Amino acid sequence: MGRVLCVANQKGGVGKTTTAVNLAWALAAAGLKTLLVDLDPQCNATTGLGKRPTDGHPLVNCTPVRQGVCNAGLSGLDLLPGSRSFRDVETLTKDDHRQAGQLREQLGLGFSAYDFVLIDCPPSLGRLTRTALASSNEVFIPIQCEYFAMEGLAQMIEVVRQIIQQDTHRLEFGGIVLTMYDHMLELTEEVDREVREFFGEIVYRTVIPRDVAVSEAPSHGKSVIDYAPRARGARAYVELCMEVLDRD
């Protein structure tokens, strides 16, 4: 099995799904067989790549992952679409340890064919995010360069530590990436400094700038790398991809 990255942050609007989509696209463009798993009931990773949410989530229907995926518009990039079905959301998120175990097993069996798997989680620390963390070997945390960037991050780190401490688990900190970075703002520099001083080397050198092309790309069903390859945001995600590969 390759590297399984759980892209997670309990705070919404931090660029989590945008990072999952664009990093997955960059990895596939680099020649690595990549799977993007949409576990967020909002299904933004699915629609952001121009695909429709499913009527019944494969993970609820116990469909093998390989049968539930579709090509995401680039050779080597597969997508396991999300579902907005209330029944599916309720099933996936209910606090049921037996079902969580079945879900972890189902996810794990479907990952062996890929070099990279990125799991896009909902903005919460609920059962679905915990199951995704327990199905991964790295946690990848995007945080926004604004005042509340550190708010809730301590809880996220604590949940990750709880899972790492489980005897049978292989989860580790894959890294933190700073998003919506604006070099013109003093606040951005302050957040950058505080995060790097506290977390050290697990923070990626690459930062994702504020870029209108990054915001526009999902409305066209494309990654920013495909939509505007010369944009600052596209270049940043390519550089982030290279840094992720260097950490292998």
- Could you report the per-residue pLDDT of 179-230, keeping only the tens digit for each? 999 989 999 999 899 899 988 999 999 999 999 999 999 999 999 999 999 9
pLDDT, tens only, 145-166: 887 777 767 778 888 888 888 7
Q: Model confidence at 86, in pLDDT bands (50, 70, 90)?
A: low
Domains of the chain in sequence order: 3-246 (3.40.50.300)
Q: In this predicted structure, what is the pLDDT of residue 126?
A: 83
Is-contact 149 195, C-beta < 8 A?
yes
Amino acid in position 121: C
Task: Compute the distance between CA of residue 241 and CA of residue 170 in angstroms, rounded to an integer.
Answer: 22
Report residue 102 CA to chain centroid gap: 21
Amino acid sitting at position 156:
M
Least confident range from 16-25, 85-94, 116-125: namely 85-94
Q: 145 or 110: whose pLDDT is higher? A: 145
Tell me the sheet residues that pair with 77. 34
Query: Tell me, what's the pLDDT at 17?
Result: 97
pLDDT for res 95 = 59
Pairing relationship of beta strands 70-71 and 138-144 according to DSSP bridges: unpaired
Helix (H, G, I), strand (E, B) or coil at 149: helix
Question: How far is 233 from 226, CA to CA, in rounded Å?
Answer: 11
Strand partners, 144: 179
11: nearest Cα among 162, 93, 123: 123
Tally the residues of the chain. 248
Residue 161 CA to residue 172 CA, distance in Å, equals: 9
**What's the confidence (pLDDT) of residue 168?**
63
Contact indicator for 136, 4 with CB cutoff of 8 Å? yes
Closest CA to 125 of 161, 98, 91, 101: 161
Of the candidates 14, 84, 32, 9, the residue with the CA atom closest to the CA atom of residue 53: 84
Q: What's the whole-number average pLDDT of the chain?
A: 88
